[in-house]
Amino acid sequence: MKIGFVGLGNMGGPMAANLAKAGHEVAGFDVAGITIEGVNSVASLADAAKDAQVVITMLPNGAILRGVADELIPVMAKGAVLCDCSTVDVESARAVANLCASHGLESLDAPVSGGIGGAQAGTLTFMAGGSAKAFAAMTPLLDIMGKKTVHCGDAGAGQAAKICNNMILGATMIATCEAFALADKIGLDRRKLYDVVSTSSGSSWSMNAYTPAPGVGVPSPADNDYKPGFAAELMLKDLRLSQQAARSVDADTPMGQLALGLYAQFVENEDGLGKDFSAMLPRFASKSRE
């Protein structure tokens, strides 16, 4: 298949590489001029879209997605699929889907979970929103880049699933880090806390699969000085998207709002920028009750 790929950063680069390794012809474009082994670097968005059956985007936010879509969509071949794997606001995802439909294109919003490691290993989870036709066309490619794909509904549903998932993740990571910090001050060994919680009612993905305490549980960014697998500023972005969506539909999400406030404080006013989102643990461990 001939594929255009726009956005070759920490996530998009390895995703494009995996498609190329699987034998697809991938034309990649990035404003930073990034090159990826096996991917044919092109000079413009139009060059990435030329004759492509599928164009995949991995971009920082909804505003950039809309701008890129405005340039890409008019030059894409009729019947081609635009698949956006960025994490953006639901409104932007739906606006791009409507623009695609008006130009005779199929579209899918398919944000991912799994971080940089998942992108490199081809083990991402995709949450997809769009037509059954677009989903069927994209599934073989998503299966190369990931291990699980869920069709969540119509346009925007993939983004909705992603922000709901990450609102849970942000809140549970905070609770897990608070528990470790409390255990330290009470005098409970971290490994004993992990042994109990990981097999009890307090277990969660944050505890069992991404343990925020170094030397405890499975290997995680905590064991690498909190170098980001999923950066705190990206969690902050997703929590902001969750609360933007909550306001738009008048949903009461107090835990999500509290998580947003804590990550904003951590990233913008403390030392969280550039650290993994699990670095909330040393943050809580260093603070006293106010």
- Divide the 290 residues of the chain into consecutive groups of 10 and give the mean pLDDT of each group: 96 97 98 95 96 97 97 96 97 97 97 92 97 97 97 97 96 98 98 98 97 96 95 96 96 98 98 97 93
Element (H, E) at 29: strand 25-29
pLDDT of residue 31: 94
Element (H, E) at 127: strand 124-130
pTM of the model: 0.91
pLDDT of residue 115: 86
pLDDT of residue 219: 95
DSSP state of 231: B
pLDDT of residue 58: 98
Q: Which of 21, 148, 162, 192 is catalytic?
A: 162
41's CB contacts (< 8 A; 6+ apart) are 28, 29, 33, 35
pLDDT of residue 290: 75
pLDDT of residue 171: 98
162 is catalytic: yes
- If one counts every other C-beta atom within 10 angstroms of the C-beta of residue 2, the result is 15
Nearest C-alpha neighbor of 287 from the set 168, 173, 177 = 177
- The C-alpha atoms of residue 238 and residue 223 are separated, in whole angstroms, by 24
